[in-house]
Amino acid sequence: MDDLNSIWEKVLDNVKDKVNNPIFRTLFEPIKPISIKKNLITVSVSSPYAKEWLESRYFQMLLEAAQKTLGSSAKLTIAVEAGISVRTSPLPDDESTVKPKKKPSSSSLGFNYKYTFESFVDASSNRFAYTAAQAVSEKPGKAYNPLFIYGGVGLGKTHLLHAIGQYVLKYHSNFIVKYVSAEKFLNDFINALRYKNVISFKESYRNNDVLLVDDIQFLEEKEASQEEFFHTFNALHGTNRQIVLSSDRPPRDLSTLEDRLRSRLEWGLVTDIQPPDLETRIAILDKYKERENLKVDRDIINLIAERITTNIRELEGAVTRIVAFSSLTGTPADIDTARKVLKDMMPEDTQTRVTSQRILKEVSKYFSIPINVLISSKRNQYIAHARQVAMYLCREITSDSLPAIGRVFGNRDHATVIYAITKIKDLISKESDVYKHVREITNRLRS
Q: Is residue 142 part of a domain?
A: yes
Round the average pLDDT of the chain to a whole number and report it.
Answer: 83
Helix (H, G, I), strand (E, B) or coil at 10: helix
- Residue 104's pLDDT is what? 61
CATH code, domain with 301: 1.10.8.60
Q: Is residue 88 one of the residues assigned to a domain?
A: no
**Average pLDDT score over residue span 13-37:** 79
How far is Cα 134 from Cα 160, in angstroms, rounded to an integer? 9
Is there a single domain that holds both residue 154 and residue 73? no
CB atoms within 10 A of CB 127: 12
Asked if residue 292 and residue 267 are part of one domain, the reply reads no
Residue 268 shares a structural domain with residue 282: no
For 342-366, letters b (16+ CB in 10 Å) and e give bebbbeeeeeeebbbebbbebbbee
Q: Are residues 135 and 5 in the same domain?
A: no
CA dist 183 and 387 (Å) reads 20
Helix axes 356-367, 432-446, angle to 10 degrees: 130
The answer to whether 250 and 102 have CB atoms below 8 angstroms apart is no
Please check whether residues 10 and 112 belong to one and the same domain. no
Task: Give the CATH number, domain containing residue 181.
Answer: 3.40.50.300
| Residue-wise pLDDT tens digits, 149-186 | 998 888 899 999 999 999 999 988 889 999 999 888 98
Indicate if the pLDDT at residue 52 is higher than 80.
no
Number of domains within the chain: 4
Counting every residue written for the chain, the total comes to 447
- Chain centre distance of CA 273: 18
Examine the domain organization and report whether 131 and 263 are in the same domain. yes
Name the amino acid, one letter, at 32: K
Same structural domain, 49 and 71: yes
Percent of the chain with pLDDT over 90: 25
**Same domain assignment for residues 233 and 154:** yes
Domain encompassing residue 397 = 356-446
CATH code, domain with 384 = 1.10.1750.10
312-316, 382-386, 387-391: range with lowest mean pLDDT: 312-316
pLDDT of 282 over the 80 cut: yes
Instruction: Based on the fold, state whether residues 158 and 288 are members of the same structural domain.
Output: no
Are residues 117 and 258 both part of a single domain?
yes
Dist. CA 313–CA 325, nearest whole Å: 18
228 inside domain? yes
DSSP secondary structure code for residue 157 in this structure: H
Our CA angle for 415, 419, 422, nearest 5°, is: 135
As to burial, measured by CB atoms within 10 angstroms (0-12 exposed, 13-18 middle, 19+ buried), residue 336 is: exposed
Nearest 5 degrees, angle CA 229-CA 230-CA 235?
95
Comparing C-alpha atoms, which of 250, 282, 255 is closest to residue 266?
Answer: 250
Q: What is the dihedral of CA 301, 121, 274, 357, to 10 degrees?
A: 60
Which long-range contacts (C-beta less than 8 Å, at least 24 apart) are formed by 369-374?
A: 374/409
- How confident is residue 89, by pLDDT bands cut at 50, 70 and 90? very low
Q: How far apart are CA 349 and CA 446, in angstroms?
A: 10
The reply to whether 94 falls in a domain is no
Whole-number Cα distances in Å, 433 to 18, 316, 374, 438, 439: 64, 21, 19, 9, 10
DSSP 388-421: HHHHHHHHHHS---HHHHHHHTTS--HHHHHHHH
Of the pLDDT bands very low, low, confident and very high (cuts 50, 70, 90), residue 313 is confident
Sign, Cα dihedral of 114, 118, 122, 126: positive
Q: Which of 26-35, 180-189, 308-317, 329-338 has the highest mean pLDDT?
A: 180-189
Q: Which residues contact 27 (CB under 8 A, 6 or more apart)?
A: 19, 50, 53, 54, 58
Is 4 part of a structural domain of the chain? yes
Specify the pairing of strand 75-80 against strand 40-45.
parallel
Q: What is the pLDDT of residue 325?
A: 84
For residue 153, the model assigns a pLDDT of 82
Residues 214, 317, single domain; the answer is no
Q: Higher confidence at residue 97 or residue 273?
A: 273
Instruction: Decide: 168 and 201 in contact? Cβ < 8 Å.
Output: no
Per-residue pLDDT at 232 exceeds 60: yes
Q: Please, which pLDDT band fits residue 214 given cuts at 50, 70 and 90?
A: very high
pLDDT band at 101 (very low <50, low <70, confident <90, very high): very low
pLDDT of 16 reads 83
CA 149, CA 231: separation in Å to the nearest integer?
A: 21
Both 302 and 372 in a single domain?
no
Contact 34, 43 (CB under 8 A): yes
Residue 262 in 3-state DSSP? Answer: helix
- State pLDDT tens for residues 102-127: 556 555 577 888 899 998 988 888 98
pLDDT tens profile 12-24: 888 887 776 656 7
227 CB-contact burial (10 Å; exposed 0-12 / middle 13-18 / buried 19+)? middle
